[in-house]
Every structure is written in C-alpha cells, then in structure tokens.
Structure 1
Amino acid sequence: MKLLLVLSLCLLAPLKRDTDNQKLLTKWRSPAAVPDRCQGIEMDAVTVNEDGIPYFFHSGFLFKGFHGAAERANETFTELDEHQHLGHVDAAFRLHYEDHPTEHNNIIFFLDTQIFSYYQHKLEGGYPKNISEVYPGIPDHLDAAVECPKPECEEDSVIFFKGDEIFHFNFKTKAVEMKEFTSMPNCTSAFRFMEHYYCFHGHNFSKFDPKTGEVHGRYPKEARDFFMRCSKFSDDSDHVERERCSRAHLDAITADNEGDMFAFRGQSFICKEVNDTLKVEPIELTFKEVKSDVDAAFTFKDDLYLVKHVFAYRVGENHTLLDGYPKTVKEELGIEGPIDSAFSCDEHQHVHVVKGQLMYDVDMAASERNATNERSIMFPSDAAMCGPRGVTLVKGNHFYHFDTLKLLFSRAVPERHQVSLELFGCDH
C-alpha cells in the first residue's frame, strides 16, 4: 500500500485628505471601507511595477499581486496623497521606452488633469505635471491607459481610453492617432501582462489586439477567475479553465513516475495526466487535513509530499491519516520552515529543498535527516519539479527549464516560458 506523506510548514490606498468633508475622511479611515477584491469591485487602474508584479488600484487602495488584502496606496506612492486630494487613480501604466533609459520602466499615474512619474516608488523631479505638457493631444480625466512597445505597436506608444474614444500616442513623433475599437467595450482600466493586452470593464475583462482592438475568443470573462485568487464564487464559472488560465502564481508543483503532473494553488489541486487530461478539485476534498495553501510539493519514489507539519496518509478509497502525525518540517527534512519549493530527481536519493535563493540536500534514506550542502541558485522560486528532461523552476507566471541540476548554479538564465500557456495549455 502506498504511503502518501503530506508535509505542512509549521491600507488602504492614498487616503485623500478632504478638509472640506470630515465625514468622508472618517469613512475612508474606517476598517469597514477597505475593499475586498473578491466582491466584484471595479478597478480604477491596473499596471505592473518594476519587477512585473501587478498593481490593482481601487478608490484610495492598492492591491499588490493576485491575492492579499488591500493597503493604502499612499504607503507605496506617498506623493499622490501630498499633491492630490482624490480618492482614486484615473489610469496607470509602466512606461516602456528603451530609447530613453532615464524614463524606461517608470510607473506613470494620471489623476484628473495631472500626471505623476515614479521610479522605484519615488516621484521624479518636476512632477506632477499637466497631462497636456507631457502628452499633448491627450484629454484629461482619462478612463484607462496601457503601454504598447514595438513591435506590438508600430512604435513605442501608449494607448489612452476615454469613453469610446481611443488615442494612440507615439513617443517618437508625439503624434496622436484616433482609433476605433468597435468590438471592445469601454475600458475602465487596461493592462499589458505577459505580452497580452486586457481591457477591464466592471469586474470583467476582454483580451484585445492593441493595433486593431479586435477581441478574439469567448469574452468577456470574469476578472476574479483569472487575475485574483478568490474562492469559487459562481456556478457559472468554468472551474477547470479558471485554474488552468489563472495568472495567480502556483504554490507548488511536482510530477510522479508515470508523468502525471500535480499543481497546487490556493485551495485548488490541479492534476494534468500524461494524456493531457486536466482535473481540478479542492485540496481538502483529497487532503482534508491540509485544506489549502500548500508551501511546496515533491515526489520521492512512490510517495507524494505536500509541505505545510507532516501529515502521513495511507492511500486508498479514503486517505487515512497515520498514527503519529502530524510532525514538524524540522523533524522530516532537517530544516526550519517555511520553505519555498522542493523537488527530487529519480536518480538521486536526495530531496532538494529551496529556501529563498539557497538550496539544500536532504538524504531521505537517513534515519535522522539534515539539510546539508547549502549553495546559491540562480533565483528564488515559487514551485519546482524534476523529471526525465531536467528541472523546472516556476517563478510568478513563468517557468524556466534546466536540462541538468548543475545549470541551476550557472549565470546563464534560460528561456522564459508562460505557465498558463505551456504547462496547462490555456489559449491566453
């Protein structure tokens, strides 16, 4: 009988000062006013920071990444509160303009009639400025904006949205070209992510072609399904597509000796069989003591390990927790938790444990296990697995393949691949 060992490791946006309305100020300070992204709220603006982490803005609040509570935007972008008394951001984008390295990767905000330019969360000198000074021909009070670098657009550009009006601003010539995107709804925010373009309208989104505005595929779709880590909230949602195409990072991933792949995200367990059949179910349905939020996963011989205390299950029609469990990660792997990822390769008797940018080896045959052979790897990972073709590290929405274990310690970064498209066969 197989033994399944399961290891478990032991705001609030810029509060705009409203001196004329103290009641409104008190409302924004109230904990009850903190928005919940899983309640179907409309985002005012969406962009990514310098590290590619999505930032979602709603009223005076900021959500970082695909899950987690709101925080006050003025904790990250202080000067927005100092210069403006608004409860929202109209539009935002990350500037992509490699011909001007002093501006490239700045985060640009539009608030009413003004523009703010930030680099590494610090306001650039001379800002805020009027929109007309920096982007002549672009109106005030915008609804949305998104960068469009070449060759995705003819030249490095920004696409601005105001109602049903679309403006393409060419950085090189400063020319403004009006566009008609007839197949798109009016965007309340817009977002370039993983070289794709998304128009958010309410709590839905549509993927569009930045040159023509054409929308291909079954849209609109629910933003909470793909850009936020929310519990399943609607019977109308396609739960399999939601997890397959979600942009929220994986918590853990591994593969067994038969080639089946197991991935974990939040409360969901994703199984991709060797014939490409994809199944999604709640983690607690199979691993009721684990429930959700797995820290790491790996397979060793015929056993599957999920890292969060150590649970040992006897696999059968109903998985049964064995006597003596749970145990601590320190007892089982010889290292203090939490860990970020772990994997084992068939030809070794060791499990490789990743914590931050350090990797350790654990001899699974030892009666008293210790994490040894500390060394630095190329970058931290959210999840990792090893198979006949080598090692896969997952970081955010991308994964990197290394033909051999030794390549993890080199300086040559391999090609970046998209998790949703290439691991799970999503079309967007």
Structure 2
Amino acid sequence: MKLLLQTLCICLALGLVTPHHGGEHLQADDPAPPDAPVAIDRCDGMEMDAVALDMDGIPYFFKDGWFFKGFHGKAQMAKDSYLELKDHQHLGHVDAAFRLHQPDHPEHDHMFVFLDDKVFVYENHTLEPGYPKDIKEVFPGIPDHLDAAVECTEEDCKADLIIFFKGDDIYHFNVKDKTVDEKEFSSMPNCTSAFHWLGHYYCFHGHQFSKFDPMTGEVHGKYPKDARSYFMRCPKFADDADHAERERCSHVHLDAATSDDAGNVYAFRSHHFLYMEGEKMHSDTIESAFKELHSEVDAVFSYEGHMHMIKDNEVFVYKIGEPHTHLEGYPKSLKEEFGLDGPVDAAFICQDHHIAHVIKGQTLYEVDMKATPRVPIKDGPFTLFKYVDAAMCGPDGVKIIVGNHFYHFESLMVMMTAKHVPEQKRVSTELFGCDH
C-alpha cells in the first residue's frame, strides 16, 4: 500500500447516472486513452486501500492510483477526477476514507480522505476551504498512517463515532466531544479498509472480508468470505465455492427476477442465476441453463409455462422445464414481439393475467400477450423511482427491486395509485433469507 493515489472521485450521483440496462447505474466507464496504463482488475483479488460511500450512498473502492465505482465496472484512474490532490503527491496513497452522515453536523455527507498525516474533506467535487489539515488537528488523539476508518451511528454505537484502525490498535472517536476510547478487537483480523453497508460493518483484509460488531469487534458466522463473491460482480469463482449462498447474499443488484406458474422464483445477476424451488435454493450459470443468452439479461417474466427473457433489443423464449427448452424461431426483435425499442429495465406479469407490464425508464407500458400483433400501450409515468433494476409479481403482490432493496406493493392497483414508496426492504436478508 505504498503507491500514489493522486485524487478522489465522489462525483457519481445516483440520480444523474444512466440506469444499468443502458450502461450500468453504478458504473460510468469512459474509454481509456491509448497511452493509459493498464488498469487493475478487482476480480483478480486484491487488498483495497479504502472503501467509502459518496453522498448518494454509492460505494467507492480505492486501490493505488485507481478507484472502482460501485460493485462492478472497470478501474478508473483517480488522477483524472480531482486535481487538488496533485499538490500532495508526496503523501502517497489513500490510507482510509469514510463518509460522515450526520444531518446536524456542518460536514454532513462530506467525504473524509486520509493520506499519511493529512485529512482531506470533500463536498461533491470540491475540497473544503482550509484543507488538507493535520489528522491530529481534526481528530485529536488519532495517529497518522491509518489502515482504515468507518463511521458508526449512534443507533449502533450509542454515540456518533468514527472507528479508526491501525494495526492491532482500534480507536473509537466521539464526533461530538472529540474524546477517544481505545479498544481491543482480538477476534478480528487487521483491517486494510472498513465499510458500513446496509446496517452492517465489514472489515476487509486482502480480498476477504468479515462482518463485525463495531463495539466489540466480535465476528459471528462463517467468516472470512471472499469479497469478490459479495461486493463485486466477478464472472468466475472457485470450483468449491458455495454458489447458491453467494448469489443469495451478494450485494450486487439483480438484473431481473420472476416467478413461474408453480411459484418458483428465478433471480438473474450477471453470469449467474438463482432459483428457488419451494424452500430449496439453487444456483447455476446462465450459460449452462440458457446457452443462447450467454449472460446478463435486462428483464424476465413468466407466462403460460414459458419464460420470456429480454436482452438488449431481442426476446428469447424458453419452455420452463428440466432442461429449459429454447423455442424455435427465437430470438426475435423486441420491436417485433412487443412493439418496443430496447433496452428496457424490467417486466412482469401477474398470475392468471395476460397483460405484460414493461418498465422503460420512468414509463410503464402494457402489452396484451393475447393480441396479434402486440401493441404497447403507455400506461403513464412511473415516477416513484428514478430507475428500476427488476420487478416481479406473485400472489402477494408486486415487488420492485432497486439496487440492494425491494419495495412491496400489495397489488398492481396499489402500486399504480401509490403516492409514496412503501417501506424499504433488503433483497439479501428479507427476500432470500441471508444473514447480511
């Protein structure tokens, strides 16, 4: 961890990026110039220097002179984003970073970045006046050359704390009174970066991670685990990996989801899919079960024993069974099948109905599956969400999946007339029963 990170990018705002079907909503990768150095690949396995959230809650993973946006996408050169740090190249790489999320604090939703003995504070693209400052000035009692840092909320830590890591030493820094309480986390490995995500606290060490209690450092459950399986969208995994457990508990967003006439749930993510038969969960590659698709679908829905799978501007149809059978004559163009131009974001059809509901941007279309030809009818704006990753309809209503969360509507009518989004629920824990 001794190379230069010249800059920090916190410029990806959730509402300003393109939804993932048009270019990945956690990813905005510009082509590298011809003379650019070879980018590092997070799927090779590496020890990240720091992990932090931007002001919109999007995670950034930092390594040497590069950073990764979100859970997938290529590395981007850090020096191309913020120019202010160029004057401090001698300080080296980023040691630690965190976002301060305290609405009453004057630096609420600012990014704190630590390099050697300095701390930089950013609001969006702009370095705050007066920074960088010495760490000891802003955080008295906290040492230089940190390994990791993470914010801990009052709800979890009984006070608003920043937890700093340096080797075996752990420091609980009280944000309000600036006192320091040194801790001993004997059951936890030394963290090279730390991360607060979806109510849990994670320590990254090498390309592995452990979930820990922020007050005691205790690690419960089967840890460590491979970060590439849960926090990154990597196509290849070890042969002895628990693929079903990985797909259930991954924090990478789903591409599509549906349930068949028998109530079996299918969820698609990148090169893999998860399917649940009764209470039993299985996982496989898309290539093995739907070889014509290869990988990555935009939307899937089930109708009369067939699975309709939309990828870019094409529609693939499979008869559900063991194995799934690709229908002759497919793929067909999305325009020919549904009268729409791709890509689309999600599609679903409710049981015993023949109307397919297609979400494209912030517009909802209805397509009568029994009509010939099928003509999309614009059902109006769908502005409850800035974007949608997946959607599915079952006997208990409609689930709209956005990022790591889903929103449950008791019926299609309730969804169509809703003025506000329902309670946010987590995909991994509340949809698939994972423990994190």
Scaled by the length of structure 2, what TM-score is found?
0.88
Alignment map for 1:125-204 (pairs within 5 Å): 125-204=129-208
**Does structure 1 retain, via aligned residues, the 8 Å contact 2:309–2:317?**
no
Residue 312 of structure 1 pairs with residue 317 of structure 2:
yes
Alignment map for 1:322-401 (pairs within 5 Å): 322-346=327-351, 348-373=353-378, 374-379=380-385, 380-401=387-408
Scaled by the length of structure 1, what TM-score is found?
0.89
Question: What residue in structure 2 maps to residue 215 of structure 1?
Answer: 219
Partner-residue secondary structure (3-state), 1:152:
helix
Separation in 2 of the partners of 1:318 and 1:256? 15
**What amino acid maps onto 1:375 in structure 2?**
P
**Alpha-carbon distance change, 314 to 236 in structure 1, aligned in 2, over 3 angstroms:** closer
> What root-mean-square deviation, in Å, do the aligned CA atoms of Structure 1 and Structure 2 show?
2.0
**Does structure 2 retain, via aligned residues, the 8 Å contact 1:149–1:157?**
yes
CA apart distance, 1:258: 1.7
Alignment map for 1:26-425 (pairs within 5 Å): 31=36, 33-85=38-90, 88-100=93-105, 102-273=106-277, 275-308=278-311, 309-314=314-319, 319-346=324-351, 348-373=353-378, 374-379=380-385, 380-409=387-416, 410-425=418-433
Per-residue CA deviation, residues 64-120 of structure 1 (Å, 9 max, x unaligned), is 1111100112344443334434552110111022222x3111111111111111222
CA apart distance, 1:140: 1.0
Please identify runs of 4+ aligned residues in structure 1 that moved more than 6 A.
Answer: none
CA apart distance, 1:244: 1.1
**What amino acid maps onto 2:292 in structure 1?**
E
**Alpha-carbon distance change, 349 to 87 in structure 1, aligned in 2, over 3 angstroms:** farther
CA apart distance, 1:319: 4.6
**Alpha-carbon distance change, 47 to 291 in structure 1, aligned in 2, over 3 angstroms:** same
Per-residue CA deviation, residues 311-333 of structure 1 (Å, 9 max, x unaligned), is 23455655554443221111112
Separation in 2 of the partners of 1:284 and 1:340? 21
**Alpha-carbon distance change, 180 to 314 in structure 1, aligned in 2, over 3 angstroms:** closer
> What stretches of structure 2 of length at least 5 have no aligned partner?
8-33
**Does structure 1 retain, via aligned residues, the 8 Å contact 2:307–2:320?**
no
**Alpha-carbon distance change, 333 to 205 in structure 1, aligned in 2, over 3 angstroms:** same
Per-residue CA deviation, residues 263-310 of structure 1 (Å, 9 max, x unaligned), is 00111121012x210010111111101011111111123221111012
**Alpha-carbon distance change, 262 to 316 in structure 1, aligned in 2, over 3 angstroms:** closer
Separation in 2 of the partners of 1:106 and 1:303? 49
**What amino acid maps onto 2:254 in structure 1?**
L
Question: What residue in structure 1 maps to residue 26 of structure 2?
Answer: none
CA apart distance, 1:54: 1.2
> Identity percentage over the alignment?
57
CA apart distance, 1:126: 2.2
**What amino acid maps onto 1:346 in structure 2?**
Q
**Does structure 1 retain, via aligned residues, the 8 Å contact 2:261–2:303?**
no
> What stretches of structure 1 of length at least 5 have no aligned partner?
1-12, 17-28
Per-residue CA deviation, residues 9-33 of structure 1 (Å, 9 max, x unaligned), is xxxx9557xxxxxxxxxxxx96554
Q: Which moved more, 1:150-159 or 1:310-319?
A: 310-319
**Alpha-carbon distance change, 184 to 34 in structure 1, aligned in 2, over 3 angstroms:** same
Separation in 2 of the partners of 1:111 and 1:14? 9
Q: Which moved more, 1:81-90 or 1:337-346?
A: 81-90
**What amino acid maps onto 1:343 in structure 2?**
F
Structure with more contact order per residue of length (Cα contacts < 8 Å, sep ≥ 6): 1
CA apart distance, 1:347: 5.0
Partner-residue secondary structure (3-state), 2:150:
strand
Separation in 2 of the partners of 1:318 and 1:260? 15
**Does structure 2 retain, via aligned residues, the 8 Å contact 1:38–1:230?**
yes
Separation in 2 of the partners of 1:222 and 1:247? 13
Partner-residue secondary structure (3-state), 1:272:
strand
**Alpha-carbon distance change, 365 to 75 in structure 1, aligned in 2, over 3 angstroms:** farther
